[in-house]
Amino acid sequence: MKSFELIVPCYNEEESVNLFYETVSPILYSIDADCSFIFVDDGSRDNTAKLIRELAEKDAKVKYISFSRNFGKEAAMLAGMRMSSADYVGIIDSDLQHSPELIPDMYRAVTEEGCDIAAARRIDRKGEAKIKSAFSRSFYKLINKISDANIEEGAQDFRVMNRKVVNAIVSMPEYNRFSKGIFSWVGFKTKWFEHENRERAAGKTKWSFWKLFTYAVDGILGFSTAPLKISLIVGTFTSIIGFIYALYTIVKTLVFGPDVAGYPSIICAILIVGGLILISLGITGEYIARMYMEVKNRPDYLINETNIIPDEKGNE
Ligand code: UDP
Ligand code: MG
């Protein structure tokens, strides 16, 4: 019999964790496979860890991992995938925003229809601020233009994958993990499932506008070096203009003699060029900072507690 594990990252989800389990377990256990949950408590400060432990005591099919602190959803998904040993692995949010009733169809797509990945995409952005939608839409356009990862707009971290894909994702060693990029970068045959955006079942979103913005920046810097090229091009362009202007000034001084006026043009040139230098330095700095973090090679997360025992295959 095939095995299937469903990874559920949870951070401060005490209000939705039980509701999630009650809603999703009948759906999951209806699948004809050896199904289990892997709840990943991402260092929650509320009762989430305790609730998950209680679920595990009641139901032997509930596995859990609890982090020593909040490491972010990317780390939680990675931990789940690393610790999984099943033939098929799924990932779903714990707030019921991802339609759980799609899971059996997604499972069928990877087991019977010859796909490697079944992934969900939302078809609308109902219940989301207009400005937020506009920003995310331009983000997808930009990142697809300047990187070699081709990210579907509206693609979510709600997916079912076979072992090949999980191994590929887990084998990517980077510390700055932008899963949307990694999921698409590894390739493989994907079947898309569309569903409508839903309100959160309970609790509130962990994504502030600022967090989303830095997430977008991470995505671009992680999957493209275009910003470096742009700063090179803009720098070259301004130096050419600067050079032409310098020639003009020299000739003008030789012909008409020095003029005291010209303070505005000098200050403008200094300000513009100074600004451009700082921007390029900043962009370079962002890449260096990321290299610094990669070189340090710190673990992606630290586990405080888990009930997953490493199996004989050597998987954790
Ligand atoms: N999450 C997590 N660690 C974090 C933030 C979020 O594991 O640092 C989990 C969260 O519990 C939820 C999922 O990631 O299951 C999606 O989070 P959220 O609903 O806040 O994001 P949104 O749906 O608003 O994009
Ligand atoms: Mg959510």
Distance CA 68, CA 53 (A): 15
| 287 touches 228 (CB < 8 A) | yes
Report the separation in Å between the CA atom of 202 and the middle of ligand 2, taken as the mean of its atom positions: 9
pLDDT attached to residue 5: 94
- Atom number, ligand 1, closest to the C-alpha of residue 9: 7
Shortest-distance ligand to the CA of residue 75? 1
Ligand 1 atom 24: residue of nearest CA = 205
Cβ neighbours around 247 below 10 Å, total? 10
| 43 touches 74 (CB < 8 A) | no
Ligand 1 atom 12: residue of nearest CA = 93
| 185 touches 150 (CB < 8 A) | no
Report the separation in Å between the CA atom of 8 and the middle of ligand 1, taken as the mean of its atom positions: 10
pLDDT attached to residue 273: 81
| 198 touches 149 (CB < 8 A) | no
pLDDT attached to residue 315: 53
Check pocket membership of 91 for ligand 1, CB cut-off 6 A: no
Q: Which residues surround ligand 2, an ion (CB under 5 A)?
A: 95, 97
Report the separation in Å between the CA atom of 124 and the middle of ligand 2, taken as the mean of its atom positions: 15
Check pocket membership of 90 for ligand 1, CB cut-off 6 A: no
pLDDT attached to residue 129: 73
Q: Has this prediction a pTM greater than 0.95? A: no
pLDDT attached to residue 38: 94
Distance CA 233, CA 227 (A): 10
Check pocket membership of 197 for ligand 1, CB cut-off 6 A: no
DSSP 8-state code for residue 309: P
- Atom number, ligand 1, closest to the C-alpha of residue 76: 7
| 89 touches 116 (CB < 8 A) | no
pLDDT attached to residue 77: 94
| 79 touches 42 (CB < 8 A) | no
Distance CA 251, CA 153 (A): 54
**Using only C-alpha atoms, what is the Rg of the chain?**
25
**Tens of pLDDT, residue by residue, the chain (316 residues):** 889 999 999 999 888 899 999 999 999 899 888 899 999 999 999 899 999 999 999 988 899 999 999 998 989 999 999 999 899 999 999 988 888 889 999 999 999 888 899 998 888 776 667 787 888 888 888 888 888 778 887 788 899 999 999 999 999 888 888 888 888 888 888 889 888 877 777 777 777 788 888 888 888 888 888 888 888 888 888 888 888 888 888 888 888 877 777 777 787 778 778 877 878 888 888 888 888 888 888 888 998 888 888 765 445 5
